[in-house]
Chain A
């Protein structure tokens, strides 16, 4: 039997200072001229894709320990690369730069944004969000990014825009799943214009203080922390404002299991399993699932008066 005795100085990975804060502090010191000793302080890793320094926004408290980075970046759902969890190596084939995001449809200012240019025009911050997969596992990740509403401001939606449609890039040379030509590629997800304006709706470009890895949806994805994870489209190439409710990828394939709203609700089981609890990646602990994944105070008002809709699928 292997007996492992930790020396007194060891701490759990979740207790370590997040990399983004570490580098953020160095950037702040450098900017204030406090480094002072003539020793250069690097503000980010050499060779990394540009990711602006993102200070953590303390407003969003996960009330749970961070998931270890290794767990969050090696257990992934990304159907374009396969229907299993170990797609992280295959996903490295998806080029991350240059990357452009088109915003169009019912907007005053449609445009195509080079991602790095876009990041210079929006306030980037870090938020620690809980992420709840429809498959009843969960993780807590420090995401870097900007509010979706900032992108909406740049595009200026017309009054007739009612929904936002998110399209994932379709790159056949990198994504073996696209060989299955019978599926309705590209991966499409959507939300209402009110949901897009909600402060929680977050465009993610980084995780754990680094550029968002492709297996987690890099270089840019959307994240709705109160919805099941499949609603948060990855590797976005196109955002379309529309007056038609988008029919999502999974809605077209299995509409009885995956709907448009997909808000987290422990009292409404998936047709094939319970949603009452969730397994935390890394610790494998099972904890009770919360309504709206615990973000009810931010989002429950969005659904008041919504009648005749399956809000929980």
Chain B
């Protein structure tokens, strides 16, 4: 199951890179998809959680190329799976 999710995320990352361009920020991709989405999310996070959570947590992710977050998460999950299923743990 973990491997399926990881491979799915890698495919999403690849597709985003091919479709939107390898250097296009995730924020721009989401903005193109729904111009109001990020504004609503930012207002919610900054007003009801913490301004810093947006500025220092979410915004750096949105500034990265679109493919980085899904592909990076997929790669991380594959590594995690590898660790969990390593011979020492069997």
Please determine whether A182 and B25 come into contact, CB atoms closer than 8 angstroms: yes
Please determine whether A83 and B35 come into contact, CB atoms closer than 8 angstroms: no
* CB neighbours of B55 from chain A (8 A): 82, 176
In the assembled complex, B8 has its CB within 8 A of some CB on chain A: no
In the assembled complex, B83 has its CB within 8 A of some CB on chain A: no
Q: Which of A83, A181, A257 contacts B47 (CB 8 A)?
A: A83
Closest B residue to A81 by CB, please name it.
B51
B57 to chain A, nearest CB (A): 13
Closest B residue to A86 by CB, please name it.
B51
* CB neighbours of A82 from chain B (8 A): 46, 51, 54-55
Interface range, B side = 20 to 34
Please report the total number of A residues contacting B with Cβ < 8 Å.
Answer: 15
In the assembled complex, A180 has its CB within 8 A of some CB on chain B: yes
B35 to chain A, nearest CB (A): 5
* CB neighbours of B28 from chain A (8 A): 181-182
In the assembled complex, B36 has its CB within 8 A of some CB on chain A: yes
In the assembled complex, B62 has its CB within 8 A of some CB on chain A: yes
Overall SS of chain A's interface: loop
Complex CA gap A180/B31 in Å reads: 10
**Known contacts A179-B63, A181-B27, A253 near B46 by CB under 8 Å:** no
A182 to chain B, nearest CB (A): 4
Interface set, chain B 24-74, CB cutoff 8 A to A: 25, 27-28, 30-32, 35-36, 38-39, 42-43, 46-47, 51, 54-55, 59, 62-63
Please determine whether B27 and A83 come into contact, CB atoms closer than 8 angstroms: no
Please determine whether A84 and B35 come into contact, CB atoms closer than 8 angstroms: no
A13 to chain B, nearest CB (A): 27
* CB neighbours of A257 from chain B (8 A): 36
In the assembled complex, A93 has its CB within 8 A of some CB on chain B: no
* CB neighbours of A86 from chain B (8 A): 51
Complex CA gap A176/B42 in Å reads: 13
* CB neighbours of A179 from chain B (8 A): 59, 63
Please determine whether B27 and A180 come into contact, CB atoms closer than 8 angstroms: yes
Complex CA gap A86/B63 in Å reads: 23
* CB neighbours of A254 from chain B (8 A): 35-36, 39
Closest A residue to B27 by CB, please name it.
A182
Interface set, chain B 1-32, CB cutoff 8 A to A: 25, 27-28, 30-32
Shortest Cβ-Cβ A-B pairs, 4 listed: A182-B28, A182-B31, A84-B46, A83-B42
B residues neighboring A (CB under 8 Å): 25, 27-28, 30-32, 35-36, 38-39, 42-43, 46-47, 51, 54-55, 59, 62-63
Q: List 15 A-B contacts (CB under 8 A).
A: A82-B54, A83-B39, A83-B42, A84-B43, A84-B46, A84-B47, A84-B51, A85-B47, A176-B55, A179-B63, A180-B62, A182-B25, A182-B28, A183-B31, A253-B35
